Amino acid sequence: MTLHFSKMHGIGNDFVVIDCRAAPLGLSTAEIRRLADRHRGVGFDQLLTIERADRADCVWRYDIYNQDGSHAGQCGNGARCVALWLQRAGVLPSGTVRLQSPSGVIEVEMRDYKTVRVDMGLPEFSPAHIPLLIDAEADSYTLEIAGQRLSFGAVSMGNPHAVIQVEDIAAAPVAALGAALEHSAHFPQRCNVGFVEIVARDHVHLRVWERGVGETLACGSGACAAVAVLRRQKLVDEKVRVSLPGGDLQLEWPGPGRSIHMSGAAEFVFEGEWLA
């Protein structure tokens, strides 16, 4: 089977995008893992499929697969790449457009050729909805992780996130603590783990360990999670620049009951065919 794909990235968070509007993906978990291999396949952080929506209020649907073949609930950088892909295909209406994602409806708007603004929806702090196996909701939680007491905030942005504040982002133990917290029994669906350093009330540095992937150059939902957790703790302002290893995102969250909006770049890298 020959599979046509687009390689794209959003500030370094890279994707293989496959047009599944006419037929379903048809790849097994093992085949997705082969495609994700950066030495023997194409390589990606996530695989995105473009599909027909089954909701009348959405123009298109997209699905998300991690490197290990597992499903992801949301991907902010991926949503921007989906919007750019649809625009190039000539099937993205102008203005604000509703897309059906694995975690629900989101809204996207092309600001220029490579800049997309995404309504990422409401952050969900309830432990039951993250899900996080903790009795009571709080701004911060403390658990014994990898032999140490670890404090973190937790939120769902369509997928579960833990957010750890650090003094020095360069020295953050992303791989060790990220993997340990991802697989903690307190997170029954695993979790993404963000390590955030506050530079100023309108600027933070962030590194993210993504479940099923590892550390990535950028994570859009992780940026939203970090801002939501920090703003809830009154540590940042409504508008925040989030600097990740791959580049910057602009985040805006007025507060509880309001959506988080994210703006950033999306780019094509190349087109290709994979012999599955």
Same-domain status, 108 and 29: yes
Examine residue 166 and state whether it is found in any structural domain, yes or no: yes
Number of domains in the chain: 2
Examine residue 274 and state whether it is found in any structural domain, yes or no: no
Nearest C-alpha neighbor of 191 from the set 210, 214, 219: 210
Q: Residue 13 annotated as binding?
A: yes
Q: Residue 95 annotated as binding?
A: no
3-state secondary structure 7-33: EEEECCEEEEEEECCCCCCCCCHHHHH
Residues 97, 119 contacting (CB under 8 angstroms): no
**Token digits for 47?**
């695989």
Domain residue limits at 214: 127-258
Q: Residue 232 annotated as binding?
A: no
Same-domain status, 187 and 226: yes
pLDDT of the residue at 1: 76
If one counts every other C-beta atom within 10 angstroms of the C-beta of residue 98, the result is 16
Q: Which residues are catalytic?
A: 75, 219
CATH label of the domain that carries residue 187 = 3.10.310.10
* pLDDT tens per residue across all 276 residues of the chain: 789 999 999 999 999 999 999 999 999 999 999 999 999 999 999 999 999 999 999 999 999 999 999 999 999 999 999 999 999 999 999 999 999 999 999 999 999 888 999 999 999 999 999 999 999 999 999 999 988 899 999 999 999 999 999 999 999 999 999 999 999 999 999 999 999 999 999 999 999 999 999 999 999 999 999 999 999 999 999 999 999 999 999 999 999 999 999 999 999 999 999 987
Nearest C-alpha neighbor of 153 from the set 120, 205, 215, 195: 195
Same-domain status, 220 and 116: no
pLDDT of the residue at 128: 96
CA dihedral 77, 58, 120, 130 (to 10 degrees): -100
Examine residue 275 and state whether it is found in any structural domain, yes or no: no
Q: Residue 210 annotated as binding?
A: yes
Same-domain status, 112 and 134: no
Residues 154, 141 contacting (CB under 8 angstroms): yes
Q: Residue 221 annotated as binding?
A: yes
pLDDT of the residue at 130: 97
pLDDT of the residue at 112: 84
pLDDT of the residue at 113: 80
Same-domain status, 134 and 253: yes
